[in-house]
Amino acid sequence: MTATPPALPGSAPPATTRILVLPRKADAAALARAWFPEAAWVRETELPSRPAAVGARFRGMVPTQRTVPGELRLTWSAHLEGPLDAEDLAALGIASPVGADAVPLRLVTAPGAPHDPRLDAWLRAAARRAGGAVLHAPGDAAVLHAPGDAAARAVPGAPGAPSVPGLHAEPTTSGPVLERRDPESAVGLTVFSAVPVSPEVMLGLVRAVVPAARVTSAPEPDEGIAPYTLELPSQFDGAVAMRFSRAPELPVCLLQLDWRDYGPFAYQAAWTPPAELGAVPDEALLRVARGRVWPVIARLAFAIQRAAGGAVVEEDGFVVGHEELVARAVSM
């Protein structure tokens, strides 16, 4: 595991405005450090001072000072600037569509820096994790979807645009698009442990969660510690699989933990939606299926962690603590 990998070579990033909109209670720095170990506030936000009202002639006067936005470094060529107020957004040509309890943070990249696709991916992941959104300026629709998404690069809801599970894009009155993802759209969980568990023992653990679970691939007896896969069948909700292997690399978010709290062996519980298995469910049925699978995967991760220890990481690259994992497991 290393520090943040270098940006991929390529052309300079497009001149677009991307703003991460977080709830006020969200910790932007913690979200950033999950992907970028160097992330830190290099300039704190400066709140306006309130001058004392002296004498009747000052009664009713409103301070003219404004909040000075802080700077949260992500990489050595990119940072977040904010919180932005209505005047800052107006200067960017955006009529603020965010509420009073929201914190808008603008992504700023150094001129001439190579395009780093991690930045757009992290904006979406952080917004989903915190229950926020990503605000795209007019003409920024081309970056609504990461290259790995099944959807084409188009504004969802536009003619010919495909549907993306868990993704909602709302055109605002002034032209920008406010992109939201369902917080529960990141279903998969991976346990990173220092303890390898054999497929026979793992099958017993998994059957305590789903009795119909079965081993679909296993190593030969003389292979030692080798990858294997368990399948948790479901008639209507797609497929859930648990894959064991030695992780080729560890997620950056584990750098925030003590090295004794995780290990190189990955137990990955992943969901394949019905649509990817050939079925064509509508969006409502897909949400129902995801809602049923959500606690099953959490219970599976809980059982694995209880047996093998380790740390749980969600598919968007954020550590899932014990209380959150339990809350997922008992959710309905």
Same domain, 36 and 174: yes
**Looking at residues 256-267, what average pLDDT do you find?**
96
Domain, as residue range, for 209: 186-330
Residue 142's pLDDT is 35
Same domain, 32 and 113: yes
Same domain, 137 and 205: no
**Looking at residues 187-191, what average pLDDT do you find?**
97
For residue 328, the cross-strand partners are none
Cα–Cα distances (Å) from 268 to 79, 94, 192, 208, 229, in that order, read 32, 41, 9, 17, 9
Residue 78's pLDDT is 96
pLDDT at 95 over 80: no
Task: Kindly state whether residue 7 falls inside one of the protein's structural domains.
Answer: no
Same domain, 177 and 149: yes
Q: Is pTM, for the whole model, over 0.85?
A: no
Q: How far apart (Å, rounded) are the C-alpha atoms in residues 80 and 82?
A: 7
Same domain, 242 and 271: yes
pLDDT at 20 over 90: yes
Task: Kindly state whether residue 136 falls inside one of the protein's structural domains.
Answer: yes
SS3 content of the chain, % helix, strand, coil (to 5): 30, 25, 45
Same domain, 152 and 26: yes
Q: How far apart (Å, rounded) are the C-alpha atoms in residues 244 and 225?
A: 10
Identify the domain boundary among 126, 159, 181: 181
Same domain, 71 and 176: yes
Q: Which residue has the higher pLDDT, 235 or 311?
A: 311
Identify the domain boundary among 160, 181, 202: 181
Same domain, 166 and 292: no
Task: Kindly state whether residue 3 falls inside one of the protein's structural domains.
Answer: no
| From 166-170, 175-179, 296-300, the region with the lowest mean pLDDT | 166-170
pLDDT at 230 over 90: yes
Cis peptide before 83 (omega within 30 of 0): yes
pLDDT at 121 over 70: yes
Identify the domain boundary among 156, 181, 206: 181
Task: Kindly state whether residue 11 falls inside one of the protein's structural domains.
Answer: no
Percent of the chain with pLDDT over 70: 74
Burial grade of 140 (CB within 10 A; 0-12, 13-18, 19 or more): buried
Residue 98's pLDDT is 60
Same domain, 219 and 153: no
Same domain, 322 and 224: yes
Residue 203's pLDDT is 96
Q: For residue 65, which phi and psi values (nearest 5 degrees)?
A: -65, 150
Task: Kindly state whether residue 56 falls inside one of the protein's structural domains.
Answer: no
| From 120-134, 222-236, 241-255, the region with the lowest mean pLDDT | 222-236
Q: How many domains does the chain have?
A: 2
pLDDT at 97 over 80: no
pLDDT at 75 over 90: yes
Task: Kindly state whether residue 200 falls inside one of the protein's structural domains.
Answer: yes
DSSP E strands in the chain: the ranges are 18-23, 40-43, 70-75, 78-82, 102-109, 133-136, 167-171, 177-181, 189-193, 214-217, 228-232, 239-246, 265-272, 311-314, 319-320
Task: Kindly state whether residue 146 falls inside one of the protein's structural domains.
Answer: yes
Categorize the per-residue pLDDT at 62 as very low, low, confident or very high, splitting at 50, 70 and 90.
low
